[in-house]
Structure 1
């Protein structure tokens, strides 16, 4: 699920840069700046999901009424289908498919280079082939079929491809291909790859006509469009299907320098996106102040209408029971076994000075002269499969973070968790 969220956020950034380019930069003639704008867009798309603004909010620790859960007993909790895993599997299959397609094109490219005749000219490797393919460059390789062009045409075409190689435009093409593999479901990624490729052609065309007759170059483009041949999408080819747009851009007036400031429109959009999608709120319980000690209630225990003990703290309560008399007849002992002692608890709140009487009837023998068993044994608490220590406070769990709670009691708890579940088991699963 986290990877899918990463892809969604990254796709949002690609869409923002694409929209900004189409609205503000598509018709401008500073092609080199546009190239870096588009490259930065891909880099920011990969980094954006990790730009998290953390906001800490202190809240009062909620009290969870676990007594209301006693009626819920789950012996065999059913597991639902994890649809996020299904979506992730489908997305992964798509990535593998397009990665395989990319590797096949790469293999075809090197196979074509291997079949041709290679000779080094300066920093470039010139590859002459016999296949009907449009001239293209891939890093320092320049591949062409000399039989498809005249000597003058070939000279211009090779110069065109050399500029692609010098400016390392193959890196741009590989980067956008990998972007499409990772975001194959995002249509903006495919459109983004297309505008990157076209802008690279604009960039080289502009450099060519600065040293060559513009009309002759346009005529060459038209000539190549008439008898166009197949090409690989990984490469920078001399001819592509956007000849008309390339000719229009060649004849377009140079953009004003201040128009480059339009690139700044993407910054507030990214800032808003970070605030909307990359702000993480963490809820923490407020720290307990030492002043709360003064608010500990006073507990008074009354046994059979007789005050037994008074405590100002909530430490272990010791019952000072009277010693039994030695002269007790058999009849009174039998009655005593049937009689239950009544313990009344008076809880006095120091802050509000209120007295809350609580009554409990306990059979004889449950309260000894040495100690008290008022507190029942704690159940076993398991959170996300991990056994919690006996000191664990369930009230610290935020209710909104709880996905499921299962309560096991009696024999069902022992059967599932063994002897350690004899006092009952509370199993909690939180949201991830």
Structure 2
């Protein structure tokens, strides 16, 4: 959550600053409206986007380090109550609830005025005639005006046109969107600035239409100035006299050339790309030899039969390279290195490289695999983890298993309890767990609880000898530590 707030707020701040410096003063208001709304959606999307940059590492394909899952331990820690976190969430919930009620109350007040006052159809909108002395203002497809001024025809045509633009371009939806965000993210002042920028741009759009329709800028400017001191109590409505400032009056007479507008828009492409790359890029290491070495080894050993020997030197199986398990591939000897180039003889060097490229491995090669004692497995033989080709494992890996245990294990209520529970169980051929035995525990029901959790476990990936599933005896220590 913190990462989401930091990344989105940083992006919102940068993009709004660019808007004020580069775009706000230009007469391209439709584009600016799209830009402001897109900035919010873009910034909220950034924390959920990851761009992986592959960085090759020099780790060899065939390593010698093996981590045995059975040797790992998982720690169950009973966390103490975080009262600060509870207090913060409670404060957030109370303030958000209060703002939600205020938001709903304002919508209800506007809809109530529509139902309780006369309504007149006017072009693509509805005129709601109210008795209060108000300036025209718009909510969705409804324009609120004073009934007396309407009957006496004291409302100028320019004002009707101005409000109709708010209706036809659906400016109220922008306001409702940003107000919803203000309710949810009330602690972030950036949305207050975005609302001001969006509302001012709405007025630019409406003013532009009036100027084009009537071509009388001085009269319209004087009309706006004459109503500049009248305020509206409805912050969800588009108000005629919103921010009648020098910016708005100057914008009526300003022009922006097409080439200048295109140049300004092109500047934004590297901006968005830079933010995306900076915020979402993640370097992922990839073994440099992982693909190329496997491909080369498969080609080199494609005609080689590998004789699998146990630790006593007995041949227990023969396989092609593609049939080897990952454990067996670790014991495959690497292909011989290329010969040194012939000095001062490019043709000889070229021939050597071609021979190396087309080289094939020996007809037979031996692999010694530790702890494989027989390929003929008796029906109910129980193997230990050191005597199998592939060890049994939890679906998704042992880290997932430890997460499963930690989520389901109910630590005893006794404080300051610390120790290990040692137990064994059988991983059956189908992956089911059975024959649980507690070798040692620390009392307070810790052993019984460990067995209960293991019985909830989904089926494991069974262990194998050769290519056959076998029953495997698995031992597991679990570390228990309760809060003080």
Task: State the partner residue of 1:35.
Answer: 33
Q: Secondary structure at the match of 1:425?
A: strand
Task: State the partner residue of 2:259.
Answer: 258
Alpha-carbon shift at residue 11 of structure 1 (Å):
2.9
Q: Distance in 2 between matches of 1:35 and 1:416?
A: 60
Structure 1 residues 374 and 37: CA distance shift in structure 2, 3 A: closer
| 2:55 and 2:284 in contact (8 A); partners too | yes
Q: Distance in 2 between matches of 1:206 and 1:200?
A: 10
| 1:225 and 1:243 in contact (8 A); partners too | no
1:14-93 correspondence runs (5 A): 14-55=12-53, 77-81=77-81, 90-93=91-94
How big is each residue's C-alpha offset from its partner over 1:367-419, in whole Å with a ceiling of 9 and x where there is no partner?
xxxx999969x9x97511249xxxxxxxxxxxxxxxxx984342225254249
Length, aligned pairs only: 339
Alpha-carbon shift at residue 189 of structure 1 (Å):
1.6
Q: Distance in 1 between matches of 2:70 and 2:174?
A: 63
Task: State the partner residue of 1:315.
Answer: 371
Task: State the partner residue of 1:127.
Answer: 128
Question: Which one is further off, 106-115 or 143-152?
Answer: 143-152
Structure 2: segments with no counterpart, 5+ residues: 295-325, 334-366, 375-381, 407-417, 423-439, 456-473
Q: 1:170 aligns with which of 172, 190, 209?
A: 172
Task: State the partner residue of 1:425.
Answer: 477
Structure 1 residues 77 and 51: CA distance shift in structure 2, 3 A: closer
Task: State the partner residue of 2:182.
Answer: 180
Task: State the partner residue of 1:342.
Answer: none
Alpha-carbon shift at residue 279 of structure 1 (Å):
2.7
Match status 1:114 vs 2:115: yes
Instruction: Give the TM-score taking structure 2 as reference length.
Output: 0.58
Q: Distance in 2 between matches of 1:144 and 1:201?
A: 18
| 1:132 and 1:229 in contact (8 A); partners too | no
Structure 1 residues 223 and 186: CA distance shift in structure 2, 3 A: same
Structure 1 residues 269 and 99: CA distance shift in structure 2, 3 A: farther
How big is each residue's C-alpha offset from its partner over 1:282-327, in whole Å with a ceiling of 9 and x where there is no partner?
56896947542247xxxxxxxxxxxxxxx95312569xxxxxxxxx
Question: Which one is further off, 44-53 or 155-164?
Answer: 44-53
| 1:132 and 1:230 in contact (8 A); partners too | no
Instruction: Give the TM-score taking structure 1 as reference length.
Output: 0.64
Structure 1 residues 418 and 171: CA distance shift in structure 2, 3 A: closer
Q: Secondary structure at the match of 2:228?
A: helix
Structure 1 residues 99 and 406: CA distance shift in structure 2, 3 A: farther
Q: Secondary structure at the match of 2:224?
A: helix
Alpha-carbon shift at residue 266 of structure 1 (Å):
3.2
Q: Distance in 2 between matches of 1:386 and 1:282?
A: 29
In angstroms, what is the RMSD of aligned CA positions?
A: 4.3
Structure 1 residues 372 and 44: CA distance shift in structure 2, 3 A: closer
Alpha-carbon shift at residue 17 of structure 1 (Å):
2.2
Structure 1 residues 230 and 25: CA distance shift in structure 2, 3 A: same
1:32-431 correspondence runs (5 A): 32-55=30-53, 77-81=77-81, 90-147=91-148, 151-210=153-212, 211-226=214-229, 228-251=230-253, 253-260=254-261, 261-281=263-283, 288=326, 290-294=328-332, 312-315=368-371, 382-386=401-405, 407-409=420-422, 410-412=440-442, 414=447, 416-418=449-451, 425-426=477-478
